[in-house]
Amino acid sequence: MAKFNLKPRRLRSVTAEGAPAFTREPRLELFLLGVSNMVGEDTFYEGATDRDARFRNLVATVAVADVDWFARFVPWLRTGAMMRSASVVAALEGARAQVAAGVPGSRAVVDAALQRADEPGEALAYWLARHGRTLSKPVKRGIADAAVRLYTERSLLKYDSVGNPVRFGDVIDLTHPTARDERQGDLFRHALDRRHGRDNPLPASLGMLAARHALMALPVEQRREVTDPTVLGAAGMTWEALAGWRQSALDDAAWESIIPNMGYLALLRNLRNFDQAGVSDAVAQTVAARLADPGQVAGSRVLPMRFLSAFNAAPSLRWAYPLETALQHALVNVPALDGRTLILIDTSGSMQSPFSKDGTLRFWDAATVFGLALAARAQAATVVSFSNASRVFPSVAGESVLAAVRRFKDDGYFLGMGTETENAVREHYDRHDRVIILTDEQAHWHGRADVAAAVPAQVPVYTWNLAGYRAGHTPTVDNRHTFGGLSDAAFAMIPLIEAGSRDQWPF
C-alpha cells in the first residue's frame, strides 16, 4: 500500500545512520508506522516511548485532516494488516482528536477496531490509563457496540480473567451496552456478578457456564478421566485452562481430547508440544488438515511470519508440508510478476531488531519471507542479501518458501553490519524491469545514499519498509513507491501501479 504523492518531498532529514533522507506526508508516515508498530516495543533506532508518541501525534493530525481516509485506514489496519494494538490505539486517539475538533463518526471506527472479545477491555484499559475515567461518547458507544458483538459465554470463559485490571463487568459498568437478546442480558448480569463477587444463581440460559461449573466440581483425581472432546467443548474448556484444571502436565490423551476445540493460532503455537507428548499420527493428520485449509488460514488472521516461527520450532517433519501450504495461503496477495525483478533483502544489523519482547521473530525474518515469496512467484528474479557487502542468493527449482528461508539462514545470508543500499542497487541492477527493496531504510552515509538515482527513472522502485521510521531513502515521486507492514496486504498494489491504477491505498 501506500500513498504515491507526485510532488517530490523536500529533503529535510537524515537516517539514523546519517545518510540524507526524505520526509513523508502525514498519511504515508502514519501508514508505515501503523503497519509495523507493535505498540510499547523498542526498535533498533527508536525507543517505545518516542515511537508511541509519534504514532499518537500522527493519528491526531490525520484523523482530523482526512476523516474519510482515517475511517477506512483503522478497520483495514486491524483486519487487513492484522495489527491489533496499533488499530486499538489509533481508533481511540483518533476519536479523541475528532471529538475535540467537533468531527463526527468515530463511534463506528472504535467498534471496527475491536475484533476479539478481550479487546473492549484492552481499549478501556488504555483509555483509563492515558485519559482517565471520563469517556467521550463515541468511545463509550463504540466499545459498547463491540461488547455486544463479541461477548459470549465462550469468550467470557476464555478472556474474563481475574488477573485483568479491566474485566467484562467493568466494560459493561462503564459503557452500558444494550444486550441483543435475553440470553446476552443474562450473560451481562452474570459478568457483573463475577466482577463484584455477588453469589447470585447462574441463569438457566447459560448452559456452557453451567457445564464448566460441573467440571470444576469434579474431584481432581477424576478429572484425568474426562477425555471426551464434546464434553470439554460444551464447557468451553481451552488448552490453557485444561492443564490447570487437571493439575498435571498435558499428555497425549489430554492433547487429543482438547485439539478438536483448539483455535487455529493455538494449534500453530503448540506443534512442538504435540510432538513432545506423542500425539498420534491420526490426530496429527487432522491438525495438519486444519493448518493447510485456506478458509481457516484466512479466518485466523495470522501474520505470515508466524508460520516461519512454527516451522522453526516444530521438531517433526510431519508439519513441514502443511505449514508451507498454510504460508502460501497467507501470502495470497503476492503477485506473479512478469519480466525481470531485482529483490534486495536488507540483512544489516538493525534488521535483527525483534518485533516484540520475546524476540522470536525479527524484521529480517519478515524481509526474507516476503522477498523469497516474491521471488517464487516472479517470472525471473534476482535475490540479493545486502548490508555493507552483498551476495546473490541462488534459486533452487521447486524449492518451497520455508525451505528457502532456512537455506538463506543456514548458508550465511544474514550478513549483519551496516546498510549500504545504494551500493547494492548499483552493483546488482542490470536492466531489470523493477526493483523491490525490503528494508528499514536506515542507510549509512558513506558519500553514496541516493537510491532513487541508482535506477533509471522509468524503472519502478518499490521500497517495502518493515520498521516505520520517520525518514525514508527515496522521495515519493513517479516510479518510486513505498509500502510497509508485516502482512502481504499491500503487495497486490504492484501490478495495479504498473497497469496505471490511481487507486493509491489498499483499503
- Read out DSSP for 33-67? HHTT--SS---SSS-HHHHHHHHHHHHHHHHHH-H
Work out the average pLDDT over 116-136. Answer: 96
Work out the average pLDDT over 158-169. Answer: 94
Q: Is the pLDDT of residue 8 over 50?
A: no
Taking the mean position of all CA atoms in its chain, how far away is CA 39?
12
Confidence of residue 349 (pLDDT cuts 50, 70, 90): confident
Task: Provide the pLDDT for residue 351.
Answer: 85
Q: What sign does the CA torsion over 235, 241, 242, 248 have?
A: negative
Q: Is the pLDDT of residue 11 over 50?
A: no
Task: Provide the pLDDT for residue 433.
Answer: 96
504: helix, coil or strand? Answer: coil
Angle between helices 304-313 and 320-330 (to 10 degrees): 170
Q: What type of residue sits at position 330?
A: A
Taking the mean position of all CA atoms in its chain, how far away is CA 162?
27
* Cα-based angle 296, 301, 303 (whole degrees, multiple of 5): 115
Lowest mean pLDDT among 159-173, 268-282, 309-323: 309-323
Contact 474, 446 (CB under 8 A): no
CB count, 10 Å around CB of 289?
A: 11
DSSP letter for each residue of 424-486: HHHHH-SS-SEEEEEE----B-SS---TGGGS-TTS-EEEEESS--S-BSS-S-TTEEEEE-S
CA distances from 37 to 78, 226, 235, 379, 414 (A): 12, 43, 36, 33, 23
- Say how far apart CA 217 and CA 203 lie, in whole Å: 18
Each residue's pLDDT tens digit, 195-214: 999 999 999 999 999 999 99
- Say how far apart CA 394 and CA 299 lie, in whole Å: 34
Each residue's pLDDT tens digit, 34-67: 877 656 554 444 667 888 899 999 999 999 999 9
Contact 141, 187 (CB under 8 A): no
416: helix, coil or strand? Answer: coil
Write the DSSP symbol of residue 22: E
Confidence of residue 23 (pLDDT cuts 50, 70, 90): low
- Say how far apart CA 34 and CA 24 lie, in whole Å: 14
Q: What type of residue sits at position 240?
A: E
Residues near 107 by Cβ (< 8 Å), separated by ≥ 6?
95, 137, 138, 139, 141, 142, 145
Nearest one of 433, 419, 448 to 382, comparing CA atoms: 433
Q: What's the grid cell of residue 206?
A: 447459560
- Say how far apart CA 383 and CA 372 lie, in whole Å: 8
Task: Provide the pLDDT for residue 10.
Answer: 43
Confidence of residue 86 (pLDDT cuts 50, 70, 90): very high
Task: Provide the pLDDT for residue 45.
Answer: 40
Task: Provide the pLDDT for residue 122.
Answer: 96
Q: What sign does the CA torsion over 304, 1, 64, 62 have?
A: positive
Lowest mean pLDDT among 9-18, 88-97, 159-168, 370-379: 9-18
pLDDT above 90: percentage of residues in the chain: 67
Q: What sign does the CA torsion over 286, 291, 292, 296 have?
A: positive
The pTM is what?
0.83
| Radius of gyration of the chain, Cα coordinates, nearest whole angstrom | 25
Work out the average pLDDT over 456-460. Answer: 91
Work out the average pLDDT over 294-302. Answer: 93
Task: Provide the pLDDT for residue 9.
Answer: 42
Each residue's pLDDT tens digit, 476-506: 667 888 887 788 887 888 887 887 766 668 8
**Mean pLDDT over each residue of the chain, to the nearest integer:** 88
Contact 21, 14 (CB under 8 A): yes
Nearest one of 471, 435, 433 to 453, comparing CA atoms: 435
Q: What's the grid cell of residue 263?
A: 483455535
Nearest one of 87, 77, 205 to 487, comparing CA atoms: 77
Q: Is pLDDT larger for residue 19 or for residue 351?
A: 351
Q: Is pLDDT larger for residue 3 or for residue 260?
A: 260
Task: Provide the pLDDT for residue 356.
Answer: 65
Task: Provide the pLDDT for residue 341.
Answer: 98
Each residue's pLDDT tens digit, 376-426: 999 999 999 999 899 999 999 989 999 999 999 999 999 988 888 889 999
Cell 517433519 identifies what position? 317
In the chain, count of helices (H) and strands (E)? 25, 8
CB count, 10 Å around CB of 339?
A: 12
Straight-line distance from the first to the last Cα atom of the chain, in angstroms, rounded to the nearest whole number: 8
